[in-house]
Structure formats: C-alpha cells, structure tokens
C-alpha cells in the first residue's frame, strides 16, 4: 500500500484512500505544483495472481482511455510502473457509484433514470463510433459514478475491447452475470454494440425497480409488474434492450436515444389521450366540412330563388307595359 503523505514520482502527494477492489486500491492524490487533485489506482504484485497478465490488461485499458475524450469518461494523465506496482493516475471523480445510491435509497425516479440513460447512451454511442468501435461490455450501477451536479461518468474499462469483425476469441465469460448479455458467455455470437445496449437495459431495470438482476430470481420482468405507476413507454424500451436475440434489440445507440427522448409519447396513456384528441379533431373537421357544404348549398339555393324571383318580376313588368300600350 502507498503511505498517506508520501510523494509519488516527485509530484503526487497521497492524501487518503478512497476505494479498494479485489486487486487494486484507489487513492486521492494532490499535484501540489498544479494545485489539482487526481485519483491514483494502485495494483501491487504482492498477492495478485498472474500479475503480468493483469498488468498487460491494464496497459491495454490505459492506452484505450488515452485516445478518448468525452465528458462522461475519465482522463488518464500518467502511468507509473516498477517491479512491484502499477499505478494509473486519472481524473478524480467526486461523487458515488449508482450502486451506492441504490443501496441507500432503493429504486430511483424514472425521470432521473431516463436522464442518466440518455447520458450513458451518449457515451456508449461515442465509444461505438470510434475506429475501430470500442465495446464496453460491463455496464452496471457500480461502474457509473454520479457526480454532485447530476452528471455521470463511466468508469472501469477492464473488460472493454476494440471490435474486430468475426473475432470471437475474446467473447467468453466477460461481464457481470445479471447485467451481461447472453453472447458474453460464449456460444451465442460475437459481442458488439448491441451487447452494450443489453447491459444498459439491465442497468436501467435495476435503477428504476430496485430489483437486482444479479440476485434471485435472476430475471428481468416488465417493470410495470413491479411498479404499475411506471411508464409503459419506458417498459417497452427496457424490454427491447434486453431481448436475448441481438437482432431483436435496438441496433444502435442512436435508435435507443430517439426512444429515450420520446419515451412519454410511447406511453399507453399518452397514446390514448392522443387518439382522443385526434378523434375530436377529425370530428371537428367533418363537422366543419358538413357545415360548409350546408352553407354552400344554402347560398346556392338562395341565389337560385333570387334569380327566379327576378325573372318573375321582370316578366310581370313586361306584361304590364304591353297592357298599358293597348
């Protein structure tokens, strides 16, 4: 472990420990010359099986992140390694993972969940648009940091990979059971952008219902079976995201984003209201046309009667003139 107060690489002062995982510890550090805080992720050789393999994975992860620039992604600023440790210096993200929010408060409001979904959809779309595309493959509440301003940051790219057509060698046993798509466990095709869409759908399910798909009964049910007050539009989105067949899911984040931005219009209540208003509009149009036809017919009849009266008066006038002449 790094000592609190120690200086790393002559510039990063370790302030305190902020997190710990199975093989790494994360510290808050200060670059006193730049007056800026950073997070330092430490992976030590001691007690870690296959350290060299893990280190290679971390190198791949850091190299990938160095190429990226997006408001919802952390920046890697430095990598420091020696014989015993591998240190990654990155943005310090103030806030807590959404998994902690779920633990403390349970199911979240659908308004918040949809807003987070849009941000996650945007960052996934960014990753998928890279050349070659980057498939994240481990979307879950624990990997989404919620910052004080309400924005989110996607963390932990340990299972991400660059997409290569027909390359299924690295498509086995990756991701978190419950959130991971069926194809992530081998034998069901290659992971691609639609894999991330499944993982996002499972994450939204957990956030809006409070039901963890990683725990018994290990299923993703229609959300309105759990909370009837939820939007049927959002329910349709999550169901489509989490189809076992990738071809039945949204085929891109752009498709998903469109529905997220119009989820309330997909709601059954909204549609019934729109049908009612449409019915009123059509009825009004029909009545307007009907009244218009009646008015035209009435005007035409009046003109016809007026013309006949004029002809009758004119004929009588001629008869009177002739009679006077005699």
**161 and 257 share one domain:** yes
Tell whether 162 and 15 lie within a shared domain: no
Q: Say how many domains are in the chain.
A: 3
Residue 184 lies in a domain: yes
State whether 83 and 104 are in the same domain: no
Give, for all 326 residues of the chain, the pLDDT tens digit: 899 999 999 999 999 999 887 678 999 999 988 889 999 999 887 767 777 777 888 888 888 889 999 999 999 989 998 877 889 999 999 999 999 999 999 999 999 999 999 999 999 999 999 999 999 999 999 999 999 999 999 998 877 888 766 555 554 456 788 999 999 887 667 899 999 999 999 999 999 999 999 998 889 999 999 999 999 999 999 999 999 999 999 999 999 999 999 999 998 665 555 555 546 656 666 767 766 766 677 677 667 776 666 666 667 666 656 665 55
244 and 168 in a common domain: yes
* 213 within some domain: yes
Q: Domain range for residue 55?
A: 7-91
Give the three-state DSSP class for 221: coil
pTM passes above 0.75: yes
Which residues, 6 or more positions from 95, have their beta carbon under 8 angstroms from its beta carbon? 145, 146, 147, 148, 153
Contact, 173 vs 185, CB < 8 A? yes
- Which residue, 35, 69, 91, sits at the end of a domain? 91
Last residue of a domain, one of 243, 266, 289: 266
- 138 belongs to the catalytic site: yes
Residues 153 and 168 placed together within one structural domain of the fold: yes
Give the Å distances, CA to CA, from 105 to 101, 112, 171, 267: 6, 13, 35, 26
Looking at the structure, do residues 87 and 171 belong to the same domain, yes or no? no
Same domain assignment for residues 167 and 245: yes
**Residues 105 and 214 reside in one and the same domain:** yes
Q: Cis omega before residue 132 (within 30°)?
A: yes
The single residue of 46, 50, 78, 138 carrying the catalytic annotation is: 138
pLDDT at 80: 92
Residue 191 near residue 249 (C-beta atoms within 8 A): no
Q: Are residues 156 and 253 in the same domain?
A: yes
Long-range contacts of 292-298 (CB under 8 A, 24+ apart): none
Domain boundary among 241, 266, 291: 266
Whether residue 189 sits in one domain with residue 60:
no
| DSSP conformational letter for 2 | P
Q: How far from 322 is each of 310, 311, 316, CA to CA, in Å?
A: 19, 17, 10
Question: Residue 262's domain is classified under what CATH number?
Answer: 1.10.510.10
Alpha helices in the chain (DSSP H): 51-66, 98-105, 110-128, 193-209, 223-226, 232-241, 253-261, 268-325
Residue 127 lies in a domain: yes
State residue 37's pLDDT score: 94
**What CATH code is carried by the domain that includes residue 30?**
3.30.200.20
Residues 303 and 165 in one domain: no
Question: Which pLDDT belongs to residue 46?
Answer: 75
């Amino acid at each position: 472990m790094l000592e609190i107060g120690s200086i790393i690489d002559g510039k990063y002062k370790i302030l305190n420990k902020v997190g710990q995982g199975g093989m790494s510890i994360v510290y808050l550090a200060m670059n006193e010359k730049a007056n800026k805080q950073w997070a330092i992720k430490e992976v030590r050789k001691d007690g870690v099986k296959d350290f060299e393999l893990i280190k290679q994975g971390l190198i791949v992860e850091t190299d990938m992140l160095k190429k990226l620039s997006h408001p919802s992604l952390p920046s890697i600023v430095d990598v420091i390694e020696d014989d015993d440790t591998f240190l990654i210096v990155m943005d310090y993200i103030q806030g807590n993972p959404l998994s902690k929010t779920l633990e403390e408060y349970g199911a979240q409001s659908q308004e918040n969940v949809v807003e987070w979904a849009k941000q996650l959809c945007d960052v996934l779309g960014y990753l998928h648009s890279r050349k070659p595309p980057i498939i994240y493959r481990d979307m879950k509440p624990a990997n989404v940091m919620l910052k004080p301003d309400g924005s989110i940051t996607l963390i932990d790219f340990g299972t991400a990979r660059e997409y290569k057509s027909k390359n299924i060698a690295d498509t086995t046993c990756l991701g978190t059971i419950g959130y991971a798509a069926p194809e992530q466990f081998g034998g069901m095709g290659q992971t691609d952008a639609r894999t991330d869409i499944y993982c996002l759908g499972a994450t939204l399910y957990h956030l809006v219902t409070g039901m963890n798909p990683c725990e018994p009964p290990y299923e993703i049910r229609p959300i309105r079976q759990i909370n009837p007050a939820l939007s049927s539009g959002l329910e349709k989105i999550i169901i489509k995201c989490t189809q076992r067949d990738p071809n039945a899911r949204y085929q891109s984040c752009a498709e998903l984003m469109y529905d997220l931005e119009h989820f309330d219009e997909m709601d059954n209540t909204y549609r019934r209201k729109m049908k009612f208003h449409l019915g009123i509009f059509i009825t009004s149009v029909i009545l307007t046309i009907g009244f218009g036809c009646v008015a035209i017919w009435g005007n035409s009849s009046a003109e016809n009667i007026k013309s006949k009266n004029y002809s009758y008066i004119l004929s009588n006038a001629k008869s009177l003139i002739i009679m006077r002449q005699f």
